[in-house]
Copies of this chain bind each other. A is one copy, B any other.
Amino acid sequence: MPLSSSSLGEGPLDLRKGFSRVGKDQVAKEHPAQEDGSSTLGMKIQRKIRLKDVAELAGVAVNTASTILNRRPNSWASKETEARVFKAANELGYRPSKTARALQSGRYHSIGLLIQDLTNPFFSTLADELEAAVEERGYDLIVENCRSSLVRERHLFNDLTDLEVDGMVVWLSDNSAFEDELASAFKGPLPFVALGCGSSSLPIPVDSVVSNFTEGLQQAVDATFDLGHRRYAFLSALAEGQADGSRPDLLTRMLAEKGVPRSSIQILRSSHSIDSACETVTSFLNSCGDERPTALFAINDLSAIGAMRAAIECGLHVPKDLSIVGVDDVPMASYLPVTLSSIRQRYRKITRAAADLLIARIEGTVEDPTVPTQVIFPTHFVARESVGPAVS
């Protein structure tokens, strides 16, 4: 999602277009002039303006032009040539080729973000925020969307270096499944930051920014318990160990401390999508008779919405018959017709921290590069309409 951060400095450089590609048949090798000849079809074809053209117009050598346009620190061109070069660049509408630059310098000025599902508001918000964060620092964001496919995820993660970015921010659906790759990738030359999942599951030596779900979950448990809930359901990920702030065992333990037995806690499994959650919960609710839970914790807000829908379809009222808690606190949560209680993650802080960490790595401004940094942000429970007193 690059907002072209033209490296031409403050030179006004009108935003006129510098069209590229001259077709296979380039005429006149050395004379870029030709003043845009019209093709047979009436389309203007204009060859790409190269640095060389600018240099020629300004009457300097290409490297001189390069140095000037890039405002390189050491090399001091005279004010006069500098002006000539800027003028020429402006006149021709010169736009540097990122590709050539990247090939030569090995720097891409862009950062990748690996996510599971762009369709999930959590991830799209994350991407949006991260983009803003890295852009402030002069990088473009390239989103790698796994589209909920695990094979795609593994594929993409293993091919990170194909990406040709300066660094990666990765959200993995299951860190433990990638433990080895993560550790070895961290030793590799491509800087990256692991995001999000696993309060505890990161003994892996990797730069990371995670949310600590213990606090938020504890608050949610306290709140629901105080409202009289004694039978719980937990809507978890499809596979054991998958990204999952409020892991089943964590919840079970917290509830156990309050005297809620394991037998009063139902663990449901679905994928992270809204429809899958709805399906799972519907069939669960249809089959659980009297022992129906009064509170349901979902793995994320999307699933929570699906669960809420399922409850409603089953003729239950939220929160009277079933209280529902999500995770993430996506922006939409507070606008739903029944607002969703959720365990809030600090998007903004997470993305800023990730950007800082990663860019420090990239630019080498990190004290000891061998030791990984871990940033942990607290979460907290936000109570909204979807949670109410238990009516057992």
Q: In the bound complex, do residue B145 and residue A97 qualify as a contact, i.e. CB atoms below 8 Å apart? A: no
- Which of the residues B6, B145, B187 comes within 8 Å of A44, measured between beta carbons? B187
A266 located at the interface, meaning its Cβ lies under 8 Å from any Cβ of chain B in the complex: no
Are the C-beta atoms of A103 and B106 separated by less than 8 Å?
no
Is A190 on the interface with B (CB-CB < 8 A)? Answer: yes
CA distance A335 to B143 in the complex (A): 27
Residue of B nearest to A160 (CB): B17
Number of copies: 2
Chain B proximity of A305: nearest CB distance (Å): 5
Complex CA gap A156/B312 in Å reads 44
Q: Which B residues are in CB contact (< 8 Å) with A163?
A: 2, 4
* Closest chain B CB from A285 CB (angstroms): 15
Assembly CA distance A127 to B115 (angstroms): 14
| A15-B159, A331-B119 given; A100·B103 CB < 8 A | yes
Q: Is residue A253 contacting chain B, with contact meaning CB distance below 8 A?
A: no
Pairs across A and B, CB under 8 Å, 10 listed: A1-B143, A3-B155, A15-B158, A20-B189, A43-B370, A97-B164, A118-B118, A119-B331, A275-B335, A312-B337
Query: Which residues of A are at the interface with B, using a C-beta cutoff of 8 A?
Result: 1-4, 6, 15-21, 41-46, 95, 97-100, 102-103, 106, 108, 117-119, 121, 124-125, 127-128, 131-132, 142-145, 147, 152, 155-156, 158-164, 185, 187-190, 274-275, 278, 305-306, 308-309, 312, 318, 331-332, 335-339, 369-370
